[in-house]
Amino acid sequence: MQYARIDKTLAFCVLCLVVLGTLFVYSSSYYRAMKQGEDSTYYLLGHLKRLGIASVFFLLGFFVPHQIVRKLLFPLLAVMILTLILTLVMGRLQFGARRSLALSSFGLQVSEFARIWIIFFLAHFFSTHPQTANTGKGMLTIVVLCLFIILLVAIQPSFSMAIICAVVVICMFIYGRVPFKMLMPTAAVSFGMFAIFTLIFPHAQHRLTGFIAHPTYQVQQSLIAIGSGGLIGKGPGAGLQKFLFLPRIHNDFIFAHIAEEFGFIGSVILFGLFWQVYLRGLAIAGTFDDEFLRLLVLGLSVSIFTIFLIHVGVSIGLLPPTGVPLPFISFGGWSLAANLFAIGVILQASKKRIL
């Protein structure tokens, strides 16, 4: 029996995105750094340090066998829940939310890995308990557990990550062939939770009502950037929004920076790279007889592509501002670590395809 090597197309596309991301972070942040009295490479060096940490997570995803992760699912769940609770109690307060736990000079943001754990758990559950998964009791168990984790993420508050986790859960139910009559209540409960938290937290109300009434300042500037890019863009370094017109352009709105400097053509190339990453994930998943690997790769692939679509949707004004970084591109952090870990897992799985 002969097994395939890693999927080179997927690896190449992700490498291109990471390299392009490093260049875009520098080009979008050098002026901000100088205005803060720092060297022009301040954010670039910070991104490279975070990329180094994220590379460690990539190696963990690539080399740690999936079976070991499956055995550690519930110990990891206990650690994740404890850390999320500690983050709520004593986390670092930023922009009115506690989303990271301060450890020495850096903050640990476990919520980024919540979706990864959910995908591993649901892939394991559906592959080992196919009959239980189709019963009301079985579905209730996994729905309550997943919603509890999403709840801990939402009350930080981190609505964007909570919504991403909810989308991942629904997608995993679809991939796991959950009957439609059981899928609809899950979607209804998720929507109900979103509505309740929107009413409870003024921050969420402000974003939603502002989105409905008129675009926020950031979205207005983002649309100006994208529109002014035209077909081929203003050229590398020639964009204007990075001169502090668009806040956090190196992170939450980096797609607007790319569209401004590289235009519609550059945006299409970027979309093509993400689309190829998603398609390769689907292709890899389609080669497995192992239900766990099939669901795992499908879930990780759709989660990355969902985050990409949400980031772009916010940038072009189709979605309320959420603060979601563009995978592999935006200024590095735990999002970069989680996404590279996911790619490491997918590439490890790709080696198990039978030729």
Query: Alpha helix (H) ranges present in the chain?
Result: 8-35, 42-63, 66-71, 73-90, 111-128, 136-154, 159-175, 180-200, 202-213, 217-229, 254-285, 291-315, 334-350
Contact predicate 57/335, CB 8 Å: no
Question: CA angle, corner 161, sides to 107 and 204, nearest 5?
Answer: 105
In this prediction the pTM is 0.91
Q: How far is residue 216's CA from residue 30's CA, in Å, rounded to a whole number?
A: 25
pLDDT in tens, 260-289: 999 999 999 999 999 999 999 999 998 888
Encoded tokens for 355 = 């030729």
Q: What is the CA radius of gyration of the chain?
A: 20
* Cβ-based neighbours of 228, under 8 Å, separated by 6 or more: 234, 240, 260
pLDDT in single tens digits along all 355 residues of the chain: 455 688 999 999 999 999 999 999 999 999 999 988 889 899 999 999 999 999 999 999 999 998 899 999 999 989 888 888 887 777 666 655 566 666 655 667 788 889 999 999 999 998 888 777 667 777 788 888 888 888 888 887 677 888 888 889 888 988 888 877 777 777 777 777 777 767 776 666 666 776 676 777 888 899 999 999 999 989 888 888 998 888 889 888 999 999 999 999 999 999 999 999 999 999 999 888 889 999 999 999 999 999 999 999 999 988 887 778 999 999 878 899 999 999 999 999 998 876 5
DSSP 129: -
- Which helix (H) or strand (E) segment is 330 a member of? none
Phi, psi of 98 (to 5 degrees): -110, 95
